[in-house]
């Protein structure tokens, strides 16, 4: 692995350090009482470096922060929409360590408890959903505005959201495994 690989690993570590320190400060001081300068200082980076990774403080906890899913979705072979999405979730979780999964889950649970962050995520979700529609439609070999794409994406994300909420109540749950089981159930037609 050349300099590109080393550089990418360093960037990933810097990003994770910023996220870890931001959430530590959010828990200690509260989201609104934590300034970007404080996060930068705790992460031992300059504010300019912070802004290279996150354009705003709310970007620390908004929906577009799960690149492993986007990458995994783009790498899926053609197939039925639910199968494509299930494969992407499985691959995304497989690409992360247990610590990264736990930290990501904690961030998402936190984001659901701060009204401004909940609103920010709702504001961003239409664009993200359109991106998902586009990739899934391409893999399913149909038009992006085909109602079956909307239905499949809605069903998958609804099931994932329900598991995510249950996981928030039961932190000992193996969330990725439960998400996969739930999506397998959806894929099979939700038979009882």
DSSP label of 41? H
> Within this chain, do residues 43 and 86 fall inside the same structural domain, yes or no?
no
User: For residue range 114-139, what is the model confidence (pLDDT) as tens digits?
Assistant: 787 777 777 777 878 888 899 999 99
Q: Domain count of the chain? A: 2
Query: Is the pLDDT reported for residue 27 higher than 60?
Result: yes
> Within this chain, do residues 142 and 111 fall inside the same structural domain, yes or no?
yes
Give the distance, in angstroms, between the CA of residue 41 and the centroid of all CA atoms in the same chain.
26
Judge whether 161 and 121 are in contact, CB under 8 Å. Answer: no
Taken in order 20, 21, 22, 25, the sign of the CA dihedral is: positive
Distances (CA, A) of 100 to 3, 15, 32: 24, 12, 25
Give the distance, in angstroms, between the CA of residue 90 and the centroid of all CA atoms in the same chain.
13
> Within this chain, do residues 128 and 180 fall inside the same structural domain, yes or no?
yes
User: For residue range 68-93, what is the model confidence (pLDDT) as tens digits?
Assistant: 788 899 899 999 999 999 999 999 99
Supply the mean pLDDT for the chain: 88
- Say how many CA atoms lie within 13 Å of 85 toward its Cβ: 29
Residue 151 confidence (pLDDT)? 95
Structure tokens at 153: 């994406």
Lowest-pLDDT choice from 32-41, 94-103, 135-144, 169-178: 94-103
> Within this chain, do residues 130 and 155 fall inside the same structural domain, yes or no?
yes
* Per-residue confidence band for 4, with pLDDT thresholds at 50, 70 and 90: low
Q: Residue 142: give the domain boundaries.
A: 62-192
> Within this chain, do residues 2 and 82 fall inside the same structural domain, yes or no?
no
> Within this chain, do residues 104 and 44 fall inside the same structural domain, yes or no?
no
- 10 Å CB burial of residue 121 (0-12, 13-18, 19+) is buried
Return the CATH number at 12: 1.10.10.60
DSSP label of 145? T
User: For residue range 139-176, what is the model confidence (pLDDT) as tens digits?
Assistant: 999 999 999 999 999 999 999 989 988 998 898 899 99
Judge whether 37 and 47 are in contact, CB under 8 Å. Answer: yes
Query: Is the pLDDT reported for residue 49 higher than 90?
Result: yes
> Within this chain, do residues 7 and 71 fall inside the same structural domain, yes or no?
no
- pTM of this structure: 0.76
Judge whether 88 and 76 are in contact, CB under 8 Å. Answer: yes
Residue 3 confidence (pLDDT)? 63
């Amino acid at each position: 692995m050349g300099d590109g690989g080393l550089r990418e690993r360093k960037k990933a570590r810097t990003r994770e350090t910023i996220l870890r320190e931001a959430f530590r400060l959010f828990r200690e001081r509260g989201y609104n009482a934590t300034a970007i300068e404080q996060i930068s200082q705790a992460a031992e980076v300059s504010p300019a470096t912070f802004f290279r990774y996150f354009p705003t403080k709310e970007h620390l906890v908004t929906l577009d922060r799960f690149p492993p899913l986007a990458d995994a979705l783009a790498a899926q072979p053609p197939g039925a929409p639910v199968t494509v999405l299930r494969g992407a979730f499985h691959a995304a979780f497989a690409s992360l360590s247990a610590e990264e999964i736990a930290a990501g889950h904690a961030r998402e649970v936190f984001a659901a408890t701060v009204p401004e962050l909940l609103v920010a995520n709702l504001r961003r979700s239409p664009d993200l959903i359109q991106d998902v529609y586009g990739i899934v439609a391409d893999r399913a070999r149909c038009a992006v505005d085909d109602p079956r794409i909307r239905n499949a994406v809605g069903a998958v994300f609804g099931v994932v959201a329900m598991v995510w909420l249950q996981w928030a109540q039961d932190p000992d749950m193996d969330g990725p495994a439960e998400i996969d089981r739930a999506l397998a159930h959806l894929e099979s037609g939700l038979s009882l």
